[in-house]
Amino acid sequence: MRVGLAQAAAKYAIDSDGLGIGPGSFVSYLRSDPGRNVGLVTDAHNTFLQIGAEYGVIVFVPVVWMMFWLASSVLHKEHGRVVRWTGHIRLELSLVLIGVLAGGLSASSLIADGTWWLLIGYSVALAGLIRATPSVEGENEPAASPDRQAGSRQ
Asked if the structure places residue 54 within a domain, the reply is yes
The Cα–Cα gap between 74 and 93 comes to: 7
Q: What is the pLDDT of residues 131-152, one digit of tens each?
A: 887 765 554 444 444 554 555 5
Band (128; pLDDT cuts 50, 70, 90): very high
Residue 11: Cβ-neighbour burial (10 angstroms; 0-12, 13-18, 19+): middle
Asked if residue 10 has pLDDT above 70, the reply is yes
Q: What is the pLDDT of residues 63-79, one digit of tens each?
A: 999 999 999 998 887 66
What is the domain count for the chain?
1
Asked if the structure places residue 153 within a domain, the reply is no
pLDDT, averaged across the chain:
84
- What pLDDT is recorded for position 38? 77
Asked if the structure places residue 86 within a domain, the reply is yes
Asked if the structure places residue 49 within a domain, the reply is yes
Asked if the structure places residue 151 within a domain, the reply is no
Q: Where in the sequence is the domain holding 48, given as residue range(s)?
A: 2-134
Asked if the structure places residue 144 within a domain, the reply is no
H/E stretch holding 107 reads none
- What pLDDT is recorded for position 141? 45
Asked if the structure places residue 10 within a domain, the reply is yes
The Cα–Cα gap between 125 and 119 comes to: 10
- What pLDDT is recorded for position 20? 95
